[in-house]
Amino acid sequence: MLRIFKTYRPLQVARYVKSYFRGRIFIVGIGGFEFDSGRLLPPKSANLKALNVLTEVNREIQTLSVVV
């Protein structure tokens, strides 16, 4: 399953990743990611922007897990 996000909103991406648990996403302007076990996995071509997004979204997922 591939979901395309036209704008980068960390909380929206985190909710999607947490609810579907496994799949792929693409964020326009940043790139594609895979996720498994409710966490984003590092992209194959890791640039600094993608790694920052990965860290931020995984932090949001962790925050959602604590709140719920």
- CATH at residue 41: 3.30.1910.10
Domain count, the chain: 1
14-39: average pLDDT:
93
Judging by DSSP bridges, how do beta strands 22-27 and 2-5 pair with one another? Answer: parallel
Range of the domain at 22: 2-66
Give the pLDDT band (50/70/90) at residue 67.
Answer: low
Whether 32 and 25 have beta carbons less than 8 Å apart is answered as yes
The mean per-residue pLDDT over the stretch 20-37 comes to 93
**What pLDDT shows up at residue 43?**
83
Q: What is the mean pLDDT of residues 3-27?
A: 94
Ramachandran sector of residue 38 (left: φ over 0; alpha: ψ -120 to 50; beta: rest): left
Q: pTM (2 decimals)?
A: 0.88
